[in-house]
A and B are shown apart, each in its own frame.
Chain A
Amino acid sequence: EAGVTQSPTHLIKTRGQQATLRCSPISGHTSVYWYQQALGLGLQFLLWYDEGEERNRGNFPPRFSGRQFPNYSSELNVNALELEDSALYLCASSLAEGLVQETQYFGPGTRLLVL
């Protein structure tokens, strides 16, 4: 069974540009989570989507946004990029909402570098 996949693996942008990161969950998983792993800041929760709806977001500005498609894949968009947005962005998926103890399975991440 295929795991969580993310694309691209690396992304280089300049300040002020927009970045789009993509995630495909494990087949059968309807929840998708996004996390940011920035140097010195650790792993921080960004966004959670389930059944096409945004369920929760972390303490990030509105220029971080995303969506979930009918096939449960997800996109993370970062507008007006800043240097401090350089980080590894990890996507995770899990089974349906309501089963809190369900494990989140992580993808390999997209490394975003903002110059």
Chain B
Amino acid sequence: AQSVTQLGSHVSVSEGALVLLRCNYSSSVPPYLFWYVQYPNQGLQLLLKYTSAATLVKGINGFEAEFKKSETSFHLTKPSAHMSDAAEYFCAVSDLDDYKLSFGAGTTVTVRA
């Protein structure tokens, strides 16, 4: 079964600084990869997804992620953090022949003014 590892349970950035959230997946076969965001007391919102069409994936709210097969990584970045980016971010993976999502442990982002 697929799994993902998110490095760093908490990231603190200054407003305007780069946001970098790390995610590594376990399979040798490129799976489907997703980044979701969860704001306090809310459900999950899709930021972006990788489905093998392009290695650099652009999402909503200025986020993007790059799929690197050689590193089995799918790190999420945003060039300039905004206060509204404070939330918990989850990397998720699904197999090519499975439909359930396996989530990482999540990374909480705080943004300092």
Interface residue ranges, A against B (CB under 8 Å):
4, 31, 33, 35, 42-45, 48, 55-56, 58, 90, 92, 94, 97, 100-101, 103-109
Contact = CB atoms under 8 A, between A and B. Distances in A.
A100 B97 contact: yes
Interface string B49-62: 10100000000000
B46 A103 contact: yes
A12 B36 CA distance: 28
Interface in B81-108: 90, 92, 94-106
B10 to A, nearest CB: 15
A97 B99 contact: yes
B26 to A, nearest CB: 16
Contacts of A94: 99
Nearest to A4: B43
B44 interface: yes
Contacts of B104: 42
Interface residues of B, number: 25
Contact of B98 (A35, A56, A92, A104): A56
Interface of B: 32, 34, 36, 42-46, 49, 51, 90, 92, 94-106
Contacts of A109: 42-43
A42 B34 CA distance: 16
B36 to A, nearest CB: 8
Contact of B99 (A35, A44, A55, A58): A55
Cβ-closest 7 pairs across A and B: A43-B103, A101-B51, A106-B43, A106-B44, A45-B100, A108-B43, A42-B105
12 contacts: A4-B43, A33-B99, A43-B90, A43-B106, A45-B100, A58-B100, A100-B95, A100-B96, A100-B99, A103-B46, A103-B49, A106-B36
